[in-house]
Structure 1
Amino acid sequence: MTNYDKKGTDLDVREIPTLVPEEDEILVKIIAAAVNPLDNMIIRGEVKLIVPYAMPLVMGNEFAGIVEKTGKNASRFQPGDRVYGRMPLKKIGAFAEYAAVKESAVASIPEYLSFEEAATVPLTALTAMQAFDIMNVRAGESVFISGGTGSLGAMAIPVAKSLGLHVYTNGSGDNEERVKKLGAERFIDYRKENYADVLSDVDHVLDTLGDRELPNEFKVLKEGGNLVSLRGLPNGRFARRSGMPLFKRILYQLAGSRYDRMAAAKKQTYDFLFVHEDGSQLDRIGRLFDREHPLETSIDTVFTLDEVNAALNKVKQGKSKGKTILKIGEQ
């Protein structure tokens, strides 16, 4: 198995014994893993207050592979099954030849997706589902997805549409046709107009831009509406929802108090989202799409396992037109 240890900003490739799955785990032969900004954030120590990873650490959060072995109490999958998922928060490790994963964290790969395509799905799919669950959306309501032209928007827009929502988003004009095909009813070209000047009374906002745009996003949100942020700061609501101890609840309540005050002005709510593993939600995603209306996937570059640092650097630079993938195993 290949292991990674943080040395400065680079990762080392090491051989370690193949893991033995615990009773509620499955051993997965990793065929492909996606490289995400989250991986660089973990290396830089930016999530240590949310998940305090100990080093050395096997890196990698998102994968697709084949079930190799099952634990004594794991019965949903059989050896040979194609599965994908987001690694459990407390036990990541997708940048490896094998990973032991709780079976509750994974789902069956839709048959029309390759392993490389499937590896692009879990983080964005789960982010969309968990955001809409927090919002408690209902058919007929509206949602503004800020900066919805990237990989998250490619997943969140059709998911929102399938839930019966009216979807609005913004971005550069050359993405308008593609985004509308995904299900956005209204596209706002940021070069021509500011969404804060043309939208109002939106039921929900999914923020992907962070601090500089949050005041405008609260402005377009209706009184009593919900805003879920992927880029803001955690707050007390996030800490309570995550079951964190009292001292962290107090810490995050202070950290996110500015956003809570913005929300309180119009009786709105602010929630921070750090996506967690959930195989049942991935199953729901799989049922929302089929071969006729498939999951939207986009791959920019495929690297080998030995090229992991080049892959991480590419993601760090931004400007990708799809996911960066590590090709690890053979089918």
Structure 2
Amino acid sequence: MKAAILNKYDKNGTEIEIKDISMPEIGENDVLVKIAYAGVNPLDNMIVRGEVKLITPYKLPLVMGNEFSGTVVDIGSNVSDFKKDDLVYARMPLEKIGTFCEYISIDKDALAHVPECLDLKNAACIPLTALTAMQAFELLDVKSKESIFISGGTGSLGAMAIPIAKSFGLKVITSGSSRNKDRVISLGVDEFFDYKTQDYSEILSDVDYVLDTIGEKELEKEFKILKHNGSLVSLKGLPNKEFAERMGFSFVKKTLFGIAGKKFDSMASKKNQNYYFLFVESNGAQLEKVSEIFDQNNIEVSVDEVFELDEVNEALKKVDKGGSKGKTLIKI
């Protein structure tokens, strides 16, 4: 089968090679899936540049890709929740990615059924960003009727996080490009800030939660608008000791991440706030809940552009430039 292979890490980016590899084998707890579409994410470019090696030290050569939608072809002897021809989707387990290919073998606990309201193309937009939102909200321990600020909410993460936040009964505030204002308002945003003309940190205060998608250059502002004892989850800041402990990392990694994240822990401590770093993990049960949320609320998704597998490098470059109006996909 054809697959997109990373042969070497390169901090400046490198070309992904398309080559033929063996079909995956399935174990007793695995499901074999014929992939229809694979989502392309900023995480994929971070992997190419070697930026997540401390968190997930992948062996090279590596089949690239972190999420997919597809059709069940075969199941292991211990699998009962899935059957042949089921439409499924997932974020791959951290230790075993590789969705830029024709077939994937995946543990049943990472897999979920596609929402009935979506086809495979649209379903491929969901797993990684929706699980990011679900796991962020779990860390934040969100409560209905409280407020959340999502920085850069006009991107693909916001497209998932906003409707899921509304399903939890949250007041949603976001910032982003004015050209995408109407789209995110339609998703349920209660208050919008144009990042080019408005400084949200001079207007907002006492926000209950913050979901940071931008990183260090915005974190000081985000802590400023966050209430005393409030909580912030960052996807782009630096890991800290709390993250290393939550992930069950070694003493050495706990020490290293403790040093790396000390700056942000110190920012949080000024108002007794909580700083969390999130690196999203696979979770089939959470993704089944996401499917329920989509079906109950008739949530739509946004596809920006679809590439063929042999155009994988163009797709990665497009995502790396930013400014997407939705998810970039690879059609397998």
Q: Does 2:276 correspond to 1:275?
A: no
Deviation at 1:250, TM superposition (A): 0.9
For 1:188 and 1:11, locate their aligned partners in 2 and report how far apart those are by CA, in whole Å: 37
**Could you tell me how far apart the structure 1 residues matched to 2:321 and 2:219 are?**
24
Q: 1:185 to 1:319 in 2, by over 3 A?
A: closer
Which of residues 66, 69, 72 is equivalent to 2:71? 66
For the aligned residue pairs, the C-alpha RMSD in angstroms reads: 1.3
Aligned length: 327
Rounded Cα–Cα distance in structure 2 between residues aligned with 1:23 and 1:73 = 5
Match of 2:299 in 1: 295
Label 1:315 to 1:189 Cα distance change in 2 as closer, same or farther (>3 A). Answer: closer
TM-fit CA distance, 1:34: 1.1
5 Å-filtered alignment, 1:101-112, equals 101-112=106-117
CA distance in 2, matches of 1:142, 1:319: 26
Write the deviation string for residues 254-313 of structure 1: whole angstroms up to 9, x where unpaired.
10000000001110010011111011111111111227x323311122111122122222
Q: Distance in 1 between the 2:273 and 2:66 partners?
A: 32
What does residue 2 of structure 1 align with?
A: 2
Q: 1:229 Cα deviation (Å)?
A: 0.3
CA distance in 2, matches of 1:122, 1:295: 14
Q: Is the 8 A contact 2:180 2:325 kept in 1?
A: no
What's the CA shift string for 1:29-62, capped at 9, x where partnerless?
1111111111111111110000000001111101
SS in 1 for 2:252: helix
User: Bigger shift: 181-190 or 123-132?
Assistant: 181-190
2:130 aligned residue (107, 111, 125): 125
Asked whether the equivalents of residues 155 and 296 of structure 1 are also in contact (C-alpha less than 8 Å), the reply is no
The secondary structure found in structure 1 opposite 2:237 is coil
Per the alignment, residue 325 of structure 1 pairs with 329
Q: Could you tell me how far 1:121 is from its partner in structure 2?
A: 0.7
After TM superposition, the score normalised by the length of structure 1 is 0.95
Aligned to 2:311: 307
Output the CA distance in 2 between the equivalents of 1:115 and 1:102: 20
Give 3-state SS (helix, strand or coil) of 1:309's partner: helix
Q: Within 1, Cα distance between the matches of 2:227 and 2:322?
A: 33
Query: Which among 246, 249, 252 is matched to residue 244 of structure 1?
Result: 249
TM superposition shift of 1:203: 0.8
Where structure 1 has 5 or more consecutive residues not aligned to the other structure, the ranges are none
**Distance between the aligned counterparts of 2:180 and 2:40, measured in 1?**
23
Structure 1 segment 196-235 matched on structure 2, within 5 A: 196-235=201-240
- SS of equivalent to 2:223: helix
Alpha-carbon distance between aligned partners in 1 of 2:96 and 2:42, rounded to the nearest angstrom: 18
Partner of 1:44: 49
- Name the counterpart of 2:150: 145
Separation in 2 of the partners of 1:318 and 1:90? 27
Runs of 4+ in structure 1 displaced over 6 angstroms?
A: none
- How far apart are the structure 2 equivalents of 1:217 and 1:12? 40
Instruction: Measure, in 2, the Cα distance between the counterparts of 1:234 and 1:76.
Output: 35
The match for 2:169 among 164, 183, 193 is: 164
Percentage of identical aligned residues: 55
Q: CA deviation at 1:111?
A: 2.2
Which residue of the other structure, out of 82, 87, 93, is the alignment partner of 2:92?
87
Aligned residue in 2 for 1:175 = 180
State the Cα distance separating 1:79 from its structure 2 match.
Answer: 0.9
**CA drift at 1:108:** 0.4
Q: Aligned with 1:181: secondary structure?
A: helix
Cα offset for 1:324? Answer: 1.5
Distance 1:321 1:277 in 2: 25
Q: What letter is aligned with 2:310?
A: D
Change over 3 Å in CA distance of 1:318–1:192 after alignment to 2? closer
Letter paired with 1:244:
F
3-state DSSP of counterpart to 1:10: coil
Amino acid in the other structure paired with 2:40: V
TM-score between the two structures when normalised by the length of structure 2: 0.95
The one-letter code sitting in structure 1 at the alignment partner of 2:244 is A
Contact 2:132–2:280 (CA under 8 A) maintained in structure 1 = yes
Please report how far the alpha carbon of residue 173 of structure 1 lies from its aligned counterpart in structure 2 after TM superposition: 2.7
Please give the alpha-carbon distance, in whole angstroms, between the structure 1 residues aligned to 2:287 and 2:188.
Answer: 20
The SS at the match of 2:295 is coil
Residue number in structure 2 paired with 1:100: 105
> Which residue identity is paired with 2:251?
L
In the alignment, the residues of structure 1 paired with residue 27 and residue 145 of structure 2 have an alpha-carbon distance, to the nearest angstrom, of 44
What's the secondary structure of 1:92's corresponding residue? coil
- Report the more deviating stretch, 70-79 or 221-230: 70-79
What is the letter of the counterpart of residue 309 of structure 2?
A: L
**What is residue 316 of structure 1 aligned with on the other side?**
320
**Secondary structure, in 3 states, of the residue corresponding to 1:262?**
helix
Q: Does 1:19 align with 2:24?
A: yes
Of residues 38, 50, 58 in structure 2, which corresponds to 1:53?
58
Instruction: State how far apart, in whole Å, the 2-side matches of 1:36 and 1:176 are.
Output: 22
Q: Secondary structure at the match of 1:68?
A: strand
